[in-house]
Chain A
Amino acid sequence: MKRRKLLASVGSLTAAGAVGVSTGAFTSVEAERAFSVAVADDASALLRLVAVPGSANSEYVDVEDGQLTAALSGGNDSLLGDGVNAGAVTTVDDLFRIENQGTQTAYVWLLEDGGRNGSKRHAFYAGSWHEDATAVSIADFNGDLDALKGDGRQRQPPHDAGVTTAAVELGVGSHVDVGLVVDAAKGSAGSRILKDGQGPVVTATAERSSLANVLTPVYVPHSSSS
């Protein structure tokens, strides 16, 4: 994984002010309205992304130009090795943290680009891989997540491991710590699981009813606002 992207559908406010648009004798009206916006780095954003405090795996995570990045490759100067082992399943618990700094409960998951083959060899998960993991990433199968079966036919490593896939329910101030599993095939040494710049789209919505079937029932982490 290298650079992360973020797609957030944060906020579904229902109350509203009313803007009266009088159409009595006109063809069209163009009204210019001010929009004050702040753009923040990942650590300060409405959907916060940071390394997990105190995690032994924080060496894999860095911040570049305000954005969280992670690298398990020779390009990471903090590592002695050049990557994960071929012919092995490598797991990295507590790689990074997603925290809801919005104003209402959000349902979060990671959408993998690259289609079926691009996401076949890795996945992101919550919890400890060897104890209570729940997969939180899903492959973008032609943009039709509802066509995926809930039993994990996305063919990511969680499927072979019998791990359930779900979106994460994050209350205001709550967080989830996300890990990475990589299933590198024999003879794959020197190849890349993910190319530079290719990474998951962190996705969040306040509307539980909009979740694809493969992401439900949701996973509720034992996190707090600490």
Chain B
Amino acid sequence: MEPIGDDGIDGENTGRSSVNGHEIKFDIPGDETGENQNAQGMGLDSVYEFHDLVTVVNQGTQPVKLYSTYGGSKLADLALVTDDGVLRADPPKIDVGGRIDVGLFVDTHGSDVGEFVETLTIVAERVGGNQD
């Protein structure tokens, strides 16, 4: 796993996605020099999409469907997203050896001004669901 390379200001890393130990984590705004230092966060009552923050690779032996769930209370919604939309009702299939670039969909309607740490659950499920 590697942090974002060079898509921020002046080709610098934004830090919007990074590795914390062995796990990917997300920060909006990012904490690297490629982030706009004037921005303190997302606006109120808004919907933001940050595309292509991480690549998910299927290194297993079966095709999977990828989606996410969110049960937090600080945001109206939080989900994985691609250029084709939020990964929810009709999630994309990733074949064995396949990969997909995903980002974050964030809905701040009803949120307060402040800093929050929320949890996004990323789900990779075998195509066809639980057949065991």
Interface residue ranges, A against B (CB under 8 Å): 5-42, 44-49, 65-67, 101-104, 172-173
Q: What are the 9 tightest A-B residue pairs by CB atom distance, in nearest-first order?
A: A23-B60, A38-B41, A40-B41, A45-B43, A6-B46, A15-B5, A28-B125, A44-B40, A101-B39
If A33-B122, A40-B113 touch, does A13 touch B53 (CB 8 Å cutoff)? yes
Shortest beta-carbon distance from B107 to chain A in Å: 10
If A11-B49, A17-B4 touch, does A37 touch B14 (CB 8 Å cutoff)? no
Looking at the complex, which one of B6, B40, B43, B52 makes contact with A47 (CB distance below 8 Å)?
B43
The A interface is mostly helix, strand or loop, or mixed, namely strand
Shortest beta-carbon distance from A182 to chain B in Å: 24
Looking at the complex, which one of B1, B52, B117 makes contact with A18 (CB distance below 8 Å)?
B1
* Interface residues as binary, B97-132 with A (CB distance below 8 Å gives 1, 0 otherwise): 001010110101001111111111111111001111
**Complex Cα–Cα for A26 and B8 (A):** 37
List 7 interface pairs A-B (beta carbons < 8 Å), by A numbering: A16-B54, A34-B26, A38-B40, A40-B44, A44-B41, A45-B43, A46-B41
Q: Quick check: A102 and B36 within 8 Å, CB to CB?
A: yes
Looking at the complex, which one of A24, A35, A38 makes contact with B120 (CB distance below 8 Å)?
A35
- Give B43's nearest chain A residue, CB to CB: A45
**Complex Cα–Cα for A11 and B106 (A):** 12
- Give A31's nearest chain B residue, CB to CB: B122
Contacts of B73 in A (CB 8 A): none
Looking at the complex, which one of B3, B7, B106, B124 makes contact with A37 (CB distance below 8 Å)?
B106
- Give B61's nearest chain A residue, CB to CB: A24
Q: Quick check: A27 and B39 within 8 Å, CB to CB?
A: no
Q: Quick check: B42 and A46 within 8 Å, CB to CB?
A: yes
Contacts of B74 in A (CB 8 A): 37
